[in-house]
Structure 1
């Protein structure tokens, strides 16, 4: 029996379809923070149990950088303390991750070389072997400084060096120079520092803090589109929100507390040196945590705090044992985001904490680590850098080549880390979402830069940070409530970087270190 031509074609098509393999399912998922643990706070309290009450002089709640810094100083002074950390790994949003044996960051991924206003951070880096003193000057180990090329920008179809785009219009170059002059004047006449409290707080700071950065730029006549994009990107990178939301103090602080603002053509231009590692600031947090031994207790979800005249009672949940723990402490040190401390204290929260959290803006973050089977195809321009940013992107902040510090010439598997600031995203919704739509959103953004991304992708792991950043909106940094919390509230201290109105390593470490130093004298004041 003969087959018709149409039947033959149909049969051939069916055979070919059967031979084709279905596209592999996307591999990945949520990693890092465990939202279900934190959400125990929204559930009815479990029975406190009848186990023994564990007593300590200082109880630290939260094992991010501030909590670890405080614990390190208390340990150095021989104090009796314990640190309760929600997650199984300390470090907060400065933790690392591993994909196929390759380290990568889950959050903060670099530390600018600290200046003389941050001697505590300088000493930490010396203690960790990252720097040394030579003739009274701190010299940093070049192996841990970001290797070149450091930054590049995808602009008008090709990669260019640095992140500052060329001016947009004829008046653009003048505007770039005027903004540079304004930053220099702010450094000289008003004063900026990191950590911020080292610069003091004057009426001039207060005036800047009373308006948005966008309004200040409007008043200065700085409207060049490319300059505006870069300043907006810088604010989103450090604060999680753009120029329309952060204060003018914050916008100027970004540049004036560091190395100023320079265009690439300036003879004095020198890119800010930064320290970085494949696992980002996880390199630092792992070493901070390792020295604490059994005084660091991970997997403890604090559920309730009851202040008393002579001590504070704390109910925690031991996640590994799946049972309650009762604690009693003479002093309680909150190294958690301020909204978490507010919820733990409930009706017992001091007025300063209530006021500080009432007008608080927070920006959730997303960090996506993509495991690739090899290098990606490159567009024209400068080669792959450590930090890679696309001009015009909104929520996406670009990606970091996690293996940039490696010296191996072999072009094998690699991890790139994509960063997203999400100020308009509902935090609770982000914590409830399935990971796949977010993964595809990340892939679509990166696919614009590297069309072969999907072919190279082996796995994508995503970390979501609901309380990632306190946004320094107008009035935030100069808030009287934050100043009051900075001084402590009876037997309670608040040392999270939220106190500084924004989140960076230098602020968190210095706050924690300072309270570890003053804890004993503060205890004597309470007794009096």
Structure 2
């Protein structure tokens, strides 16, 4: 639906309700990512013949996303305080940063962290340090203020809201049979192989490599999983975690989504709800600003060791140390850092550009990785939305069959029940899928923010026709290379990297080295790289 057509429909509905006032204008724009700054590095526009200043430190961390922040924490835990962390953007956090729209905190990227399993012990330690979990009578308990409040999730399907994200109301017994069969298959695979988060803790067996070699869609075909609703849900899950659909990600990745955490529970099974309900996901930690809450805690103790607005242009290993040249956006000059070691916490495609004489392990990873573009749009509403019949408003609200992944409500975690304005965060992957082709990155860069505003309004107005009359502002954050896509064969090529990836005086730490992007992977790789320098 085009915005002009949609606004005509909405205006007619308001007139029928006795309201003749025109729809208010919706302000907005792009925010959060300085795309021009990154592209200036790529295009060579920032090169300088010589540095304006030379600084010395023991360790340079290039990149201030989750991995870089984790590496800085690990250095401090080891007693190493002499380091500098160089971050491209004006705030640290990478894909896990938060922002504000009209005074309301909201995520600019990743918005939750599942309660980690025992394989993710570094993340568990962080959560204990931050007071998010503690041991009570021999058992770990999480601070309920930070756990996602109920109801967690709902799906708009066939004209009404239902609990959970699996389509259950109005589907036939054949669909339910496929849900049960898929649950049994995932359970068997969980017992046959160790699917671990982080992947460093997994043993890459021939069975896992066989799954890695196949597209997930092909594996589903071979296993007889042809039900349209099951496949819609699995495609949604892959786009949610990997930015691309079931035809593009490997069977290992599609199965890993479930087998590495909570499994797959068919409606009515012993771990789910009643016969007509779909179980909610396991406990997740979330905040109004999403995982930006976590990265702010990690960045806060760093003080002036965190240098933002720094475009890393060159990383060179020398006989007695390393040199890192970075363009300082504030002074518009080149600064050369000299150090004993460098932790390269940059995306692999960036690292391959800036590391001189790139080692084979880096060149190999760069050759095999492909990335999904991604968009987050935050829309401020001046008042509460009217709702359709069915399940109550939830934290995660998904509209079946749409290009987007639905929205999360920034006020869901509040303890104040008073209905009032809020910010909805709408997520839109642009990697290859049934909805999008291979030109998602070009579309992301070329399209004006108003185009994304109109998509958001059209999609979310299906369950909420009053949304355009309540929206005041839309802020759009674009990620051209948001996440690595775990394509078939990627696990065999780079996913088996265990421990810290080291080449001489350079240590590489980023979620890319796991082949896909989640907090636990990035944090563990950053922590391991930092701890190894103690």
1:392 corresponds in structure 2 to 401
After superposition, residues 6-25 of structure 1 pair within 5 angstroms as 24-25=24-25
| 133-142 or 85-94, larger mean C-alpha shift | 133-142
CA deviation map 1:478-498 (0-9, x unaligned)? 215873995311111111100
1:97 corresponds in structure 2 to 99
**Cα distance in 1, alignment partners of residues 163 and 329 from structure 2:** 48
- Decide whether the 8 Å contact of 1:356 with 1:482 is kept in 2: no
- Decide whether the 8 Å contact of 2:343 with 2:530 is kept in 1: no
1:475 aligns with 2:476: no
- Decide whether the 8 Å contact of 2:204 with 2:496 is kept in 1: no
After superposition, residues 156-305 of structure 1 pair within 5 angstroms as 156-166=158-168, 168-269=171-272, 271=280, 272-305=282-315
After superposition, residues 340-359 of structure 1 pair within 5 angstroms as 340-345=350-355, 348-359=357-368
Question: 1:83: Cα distance to partner?
Answer: 0.3
SS in 2 for 1:397: coil
CA deviation map 1:319-377 (0-9, x unaligned)? 1122211111221111111101111126x222222221123221111000000011112
CA change 1:482–1:316 in 2 (3 A) is: farther
2:34 corresponds in structure 1 to 34
1:107 corresponds in structure 2 to 109
2:456 corresponds in structure 1 to 442
2:522 aligns with one of 484, 508, 511: 508
Question: 1:21: Cα distance to partner?
Answer: 8.2
Using structure 2 for the length normalisation, give the TM-score. Answer: 0.90
- Decide whether the 8 Å contact of 2:60 with 2:83 is kept in 1: yes
**Cα distance in 2, alignment partners of residues 453 and 481 from structure 1:** 43
SS in 2 for 1:478: helix
1:316 aligns with 2:326: yes
CA deviation map 1:84-143 (0-9, x unaligned)? 001111001101111121100000000001111111111111111111012443210111
CA deviation map 1:440-495 (0-9, x unaligned)? 11111111121111100010001011111100000112215873995311111111
- Decide whether the 8 Å contact of 2:494 with 2:514 is kept in 1: no
Larger radius of gyration: 1
CA change 1:485–1:284 in 2 (3 A) is: closer
**Cα distance in 2, alignment partners of residues 66 and 518 from structure 1:** 14
**Cα distance in 2, alignment partners of residues 486 and 68 from structure 1:** 16
SS in 2 for 1:396: coil
- Decide whether the 8 Å contact of 2:176 with 2:266 is kept in 1: no
CA change 1:481–1:164 in 2 (3 A) is: closer
CA change 1:481–1:450 in 2 (3 A) is: closer
1:146 corresponds in structure 2 to 148
**Cα distance in 1, alignment partners of residues 498 and 227 from structure 2:** 40
After superposition, residues 489-508 of structure 1 pair within 5 angstroms as 489-508=503-522
SS in 1 for 2:319: coil
- Decide whether the 8 Å contact of 1:40 with 1:303 is kept in 2: no
- Decide whether the 8 Å contact of 2:200 with 2:498 is kept in 1: no
Using structure 1 for the length normalisation, give the TM-score. Answer: 0.91
- Decide whether the 8 Å contact of 2:495 with 2:515 is kept in 1: no
**Cα distance in 2, alignment partners of residues 177 and 497 from structure 1:** 33
- Decide whether the 8 Å contact of 1:48 with 1:315 is kept in 2: no
2:11 corresponds in structure 1 to none
SS in 1 for 2:528: helix
CA change 1:361–1:168 in 2 (3 A) is: farther
Question: 1:171: Cα distance to partner?
Answer: 2.6
SS in 1 for 2:380: strand
After superposition, residues 357-368 of structure 1 pair within 5 angstroms as 357-368=366-377
**Count of matched residue positions in the alignment of Structure 1 and Structure 2:** 499
| 76-85 or 142-151, larger mean C-alpha shift | 76-85
Question: 1:516: Cα distance to partner?
Answer: 1.1
**Cα distance in 1, alignment partners of residues 333 and 53 from structure 2:** 12
Question: 1:518: Cα distance to partner?
Answer: 0.9
